[in-house]
Structure formats: structure tokens, C-alpha cells
Amino acid sequence: MTISFRSGSVLRASALALTALSMTACVRSGTFKREMTATRAEISTERTERLRADSILGADLSGLRTELKKELADLRTEFDAKIVAAGNGMKVMLPVSFAFDDAMVKDADRAALERFAQIANKYYPGAVITVEGFADPAGTQVYNQRLSLARAENVKRELATKGMDASLIRTMGFGALRQVVPGAQKDEPGADRNRRVVFVIESTGGATAATATTSDNQ
């Protein structure tokens, strides 16, 4: 009788354990699916924005005055910048990249950052600007998030040295989300395009917005 009782207990315990494992697997599977869906959406958004870049200086920014349109065009021509509308503001993608596993701003990128700072100070005084940092997919999600945030923070410090108000610059780290070249990492072709920053300029309304939308600036 004692042996039978113990065997039944073991069977019941095993059944409960298997049930718990099954439930855990389902939860993890659901979480993974949600994360993958979110990642695909982010990638799709990034690609859509880049496809719109060539037309942004036409219809999308038709209300900007001629002087600003010319400076944005020069930024695109000289530094291969991509500029797209983002709500009432704009998103600027400069070819500012980072070495693998490194968050330091390259000397070669300082000129592009200086030009961006000049335009932001001149046409968007008082606007909040977000620096979004990114990483290639090598490394863990937690590590990549921290590395991408460090990149954004270093770019913020660089912009501050060029006259921008640091209190109006926010930073965010997105890790390996929104990869420009999916899967490219370390020394692989296109990996440096994943290790980048993106600038989002938020419209402040008032005088700045009025200047950008007056009818004589079409």
C-alpha cells in the first residue's frame, strides 16, 4: 500500500510539472510572437520612411521657406542625409555611424553634426530634438539597448558643444530594432548602417511654425 501511494503521488506531481511547463512554453511563445510582430512593424516603418526621403523636399516640405529648403537640400547633397516628415516636425537621418561595440563619435562625422546643429539652432529654436541610437544585432538585447543609448548620449554631448541647448535634447536607445540592413553585424557589409543615430525634430508651434508655413514661402 505504501508503494502504491507513493507511485500515485509521483505520477500526479509529474503531471502537474508537465502542465506547468506547457503553460510556460505557451506564454513564452506568445511573448516571442508579439516581440517579432513589433520588430517587423518597426522595420517596415523605417523602410517606408527611407523610401519617402527622396520626395520630402518637394511636396511634404512645400511650406518651408526657400532658405530652409535650400539648407536641407545642401544637407542631403553634402552629407547624404535622409529627411522625412514626422508628424508636425521632421526626422533627419545623417550617415553618422559607429565602430563595432563602440559609442564614440567619429571625427569624420563631426562636420555633419555641426551642420545639423546650425540648421536646428537657426530654424528650430526651442524645439525638442530626440536623438535615437541604434546598434547592430550582435550581442544581447539588454547590452545593445545600453550601447545604443550611450551612442545617443555622446551625440547629444557633441551637439551641445556646437551651441545646441542640451536641456532640449532627449536621448533614446533602441538597440537592434529597426535595422537598416537586417542581420548585418560586426564587420559584415551594411552593419555600420545599423550602428547609427536618427534625429527627430518636434515642431514647437508659434513663431517657428508660422515662419515655415507662410504663403510666400511655397
- Reported as a single tens digit per residue, the pLDDT across 75-129 is 999 999 999 987 778 899 999 999 999 999 999 999 999 999 999 999 999 999 9
| Whether the predicted pLDDT of 68 surpasses 50 | yes
The length of the chain in residues reads 218
Query: Domain 44-217 is in which class?
Result: alpha beta
Q: Beta strands 197-201 and 89-93: pairing type?
A: antiparallel
41, 55, 100, 199 from 51: Cα distances, Å:
15, 8, 27, 17
Mean pLDDT, all residues of the chain: 77
**Residue of higher predicted confidence among 52 and 185:** 185
pLDDT of 67: 87
Long-range contact pairs involving 209-215 (C-beta distance under 8 Å, separation at least 24): 209/88, 211/65, 211/123, 212/63, 212/64, 212/65, 212/68, 212/123, 213/63, 213/64, 214/63, 214/65
Grid cell at residue 176 = 537592434
CA–CA distance, 31 with 37 (Å, rounded to integer):
10
Q: Beta strands 129-133 and 169-173: pairing type?
A: parallel
The whole-number average pLDDT for the span 166-187 is 96
**Residue of higher predicted confidence among 87 and 53:** 87
At 198 the three-state DSSP class reads strand
**Are 87 and 75 spatial neighbours (Cβ–Cβ below 8 Å)?**
no
Domain boundaries, the chain: 44-217
117 Cα distance to chain centroid:
19
